[in-house]
Amino acid sequence: MATGTVLTFVIVGHDDHPIFEADLTSRASDIVNRDDRAQYLHQFVLHAALDAVDEQVWTTTSMFLAQVDNFNQLRVSAYVTAAHIKFLLLHDGKNEDAIKAFFKDVYEVYLKVMMNPFFTPNTQITSPSRICLHAKINQEHAKSSVYPGAWEQDLFVKASMDGSLPGSPSVTKNMRMAKQQQ
Amino acid sequence: MFSGRLNLIDRPVAKGKSEISLSAFSFLFSEMVQYSQTQVSNIGELERRLEDAGYSIGLRLLEMLCFRERNSKREIKLLDALKFVHSTVWKYLFGRQARDLEQSNTADDEYMISDNDLFVNKFISVPRDMGQLNCAAFVAGIVRGVLDGAGFPARVTAHFVPIAGQPRPKTTILMKFDASVLQRDLRLPSS
């Protein structure tokens, strides 16, 4: 298992169920070799951190909660929006300012998704808005990560495997580019 | 279509024009009231439909205004949340702050925001057989969405309150908060 920066990002709605999940681990390795068990563990840790978030929510007016919980060397940071939607990020505590900026960018993208009158709050964020959200997150984080190339590659291959993207021309072009880079 | 979507997400959260045409809104609102009228059988249900329409607006308004005006700070105390509704939300909706924010004398968990002439009711005259219907139930729904989203569940209704010496009654938005809200507010360390 290749080691890289461990990052899992979840948006949690009101009833403590996730409405958006993203695994942002920067791995240059193949998608198929991704360790599913580690992914489940990360999601479990994030879910357990929700209690700690609930405690801290009513103590401060700021939206960014730096560290709500930790698990071995991994830390959980949270960002609670005005409508009490929680953004949770599992990371290894390297760069707090980058994480704060990341949350702020995700908040902006989430705001745009939410302004859609056809989007019921607290429901799953599905494609194509999800794909755009994912793309935006990866773009933003790729600027600060060490492996920029792996992100776009991961994103488009994963999106095509999800089967959630129709065969639109720009996507197939990127897939071809990704395949050429391999 | 895919590239069109990206553009929507890439555009910044625009401020937009702060003024819209009153007649456009009035037409739209009157259609909304007429449509709701065909679907319900009594006054209470009509007010509820208007409130529900406002509720989803309130949720989105809360997020948007906190992002723009409050520079990403949440409200955790009841009084701060009420002041937020009274000033920021009212200013966004009506261009000015609300007239009064008061606490009811009789009950601890009731608060009232009153205003004189909401443009929502400007072109509406209620027939006598409709009793006390107040179409500002739409605004009450917006307020309920804002408070509910912020974590202060409440029952919000709109009433006409006649004032001595003025021909038209003022509109009061009455907010009755859940007991859990008050308990939590007592527990918090007061600043």
Partners of A80 on chain B (C-beta within 8 Å) are: 74
Minimal CA separation from A85 to chain B, in Å: 9
In whole angstroms, what separates CA A112 from the centre of its chain? Answer: 16
| CATH number, position A93 | 3.30.450.70
Minimal CA separation from A3 to chain B, in Å: 32
When pLDDT is averaged across residues B34-59 and rounded to a whole number, the result is 86
Q: Least CB-CB distance to B59: which of A64, A83, A165?
A: A83
**Is the omega angle on the peptide bond into residue A128 within 30 degrees of 0, that is, cis?**
yes
B40, pLDDT greater than 80: yes
Angle, helices B43-68 vs B22-39, to 10°: value is 140
3-state SS, one letter per residue, for chain A: CCCCCCCEEEEECCCCCEEEEEECCCCCCCCCCCCHHHHHHHHHHHHHHHHHHHHHHCCCCECEEEEEEEECCEEEEEEECCCCCEEEEEECCCCHHHHHHHHHHHHHHHHHHHCCCCCCCCCCCCCCHHHHHHHHHHHHHHHHCCCHHHHHHHHHHHHHHHCCCCCCHHHHHHHHHHHHHC
Domain presence at residue A42: yes
Q: Least CB-CB distance to B63: which of A104, A114, A165?
A: A114
Contact A84 B151 (CB under 8 A): yes
Domain presence at residue A179: no
Q: Least CB-CB distance to A82: which of B2, B12, B150?
A: B150
What range defines the domain where residue A148 resides?
A: 7-174
Contact A135 B184 (CB under 8 A): no
A14, A111, A125, A138: best to mutate for the B interface, most B CBs within 10 A: A111
Rounded Cα–Cα distance for residues B143 and B114 (Å): 12
Rounded Cα–Cα distance for residues B145 and A121 (Å): 12
**Smallest Cα–Cα separation from A9: which of A137, A109, A129?**
A137
pLDDT digits (tens, 9 = 90+) for A124-143: 776 566 556 666 666 556 55
Most confident listed range (A90-99, A143-152, B99-108): B99-108
At A97 the pLDDT is 78
At B184 the pLDDT is 84
Q: For the whole model, what pTM was predicted?
A: 0.76
DSSP lists the bridge partners of residue B113 as B101, B173
Partners of A168 on chain B (C-beta within 8 Å) are: 1-2
Most confident listed range (A64-73, A101-110, B30-39): B30-39
Confidence at B105, pLDDT banded by 50, 70, 90:
confident
**Smallest Cα–Cα separation from A99: which of A111, A112, A90, A108?**
A90
Q: Is B74 on the interface with A (CB under 8 A)?
A: yes
Confidence at B17, pLDDT banded by 50, 70, 90:
low
When pLDDT is averaged across residues B123-151 and rounded to a whole number, the result is 83
Domain presence at residue A83: yes
Domain presence at residue A2: no
Tokens 């555009």 belong to B11
When pLDDT is averaged across residues A72-81 and rounded to a whole number, the result is 84
Confidence at A85, pLDDT banded by 50, 70, 90:
confident
Q: What does the mean pLDDT of chain B come to?
A: 80
Q: Is B1 on the interface with A (CB under 8 A)?
A: yes
A168, pLDDT greater than 50: no
Question: In the structure encoding, which two tokens stand for residue A31, read together?
Answer: 């998608």
Domain presence at residue A1: no
ipTM of the complex: 0.79
Domain presence at residue A139: yes
Domain presence at residue A166: yes
Per residue in B5-15, is it b (16+ CB within 10 Å) or e — as a string? beeebeeeeee
Domain presence at residue A182: no
Rounded Cα–Cα distance for residues B105 and B111 (Å): 9
Amino acid type, B162: P
Number of domains, chain A: 1
